[in-house]
A and B are shown apart, each in its own frame.
Chain A
């Protein structure tokens, strides 16, 4: 199984909105509504921020939102804040009952 494709980096200014894409195939993102997103700060374990494409775990800000179209999922962060600067990873369930991650995107808040 190949890793999902994410941009290596994105950036935005405080208060702006940014979107991170995650592209897979018909065997993963395109065929299942089981896409999740994780935020990881340096030296910390990843934190689940979106699951099942659009759902928020308890306690996660609604400034984070997820969507999907075809084989591409997207994470949008609105009202960027300094603490949003982190690495972001997408993850999808696959037809082989396995999981696959994206390569990660580094978000810089300018």
Chain B
């Protein structure tokens, strides 16, 4: 059974960098069959696609976040990561990592982790 688990700080100060890691089990990122995605959701609001990475590190980002965003992959640890710099309160959200077909079909999701941006 494929499982994804997000980890990282739940509280980040404004202007700092938000860093999250997703650990994948039950599938190998190195298989190359999928993209590995980050999606966030403002509390009580809708979903926003952040970006995704291939096993080789090829990345695609939401244009509205691109200037602050880095998504990377570590196939040796079967993990991928998100870094979002210069955060503000608007970046407060539940962050999900997912396994995606590359075309929007995210068939496995982590449970989500709430990140609050506050001083």
Which residues of A approach B to under 8 Å, CB–CB? 1, 3, 32, 34-36, 38, 45-48, 51-52, 57, 89, 91-93, 96-104
Contact (Cβ within 8 A) B46 A89: yes
Q: How many A-B residue pairs have CB under 8 A?
A: 68
Q: Which residues of A contact B96 (CB under 8 A)?
A: 45-46
Expressed in whole angstroms, the Cα–Cα distance for A89 and B48 within the complex equals: 11
Expressed in whole angstroms, the Cα–Cα distance for A91 and B101 within the complex equals: 13
Contact (Cβ within 8 A) B105 A36: yes
14 A–B contacts, CB within 8 A, in A order: A32-B103, A35-B104, A36-B105, A45-B111, A46-B106, A48-B106, A57-B107, A89-B46, A91-B49, A91-B104, A98-B51, A98-B62, A101-B49, A103-B46
Check A104/B47 contact, CB under 8 A, given A1-B63, A98-B61, A98-B63. yes
Q: Which residues of B contact A46 (CB under 8 A)?
A: 47, 96, 106, 109
Expressed in whole angstroms, the Cα–Cα distance for A32 and B101 within the complex equals: 14
- The 3 nearest A-B residue pairs measured at CB: A51-B105, A34-B103, A45-B109
- Contact partner of B104 (CB less than 8 A), chosen from A3, A34, A96, A103, is A34
Check A51/B49 contact, CB under 8 A, given A1-B63, A45-B109. no
Q: Which residues of B contact A89 (CB under 8 A)?
A: 46-47
Judge whether B8 is part of the interface by a CB distance below 8 angstroms.
no
Interface string of B35-69 (1 = CB under 8 A from A): 00100000001111101100000001111100000
Q: How far is the CB of A37 from chain B (nearest CB, A)?
A: 10
Contact (Cβ within 8 A) B110 A97: no
- When C-beta atoms are compared, the residue in chain A nearest to B52 turns out to be A99
Expressed in whole angstroms, the Cα–Cα distance for A16 and B103 within the complex equals: 31
Judge whether B14 is part of the interface by a CB distance below 8 angstroms.
no
Contact (Cβ within 8 A) A3 B103: no
Which residues of B from 3 to 21 have beta carbons under 8 Å from A? none
Q: Which residues of B contact A1 (CB under 8 A)?
A: 62-64
Expressed in whole angstroms, the Cα–Cα distance for A91 and B63 within the complex equals: 16
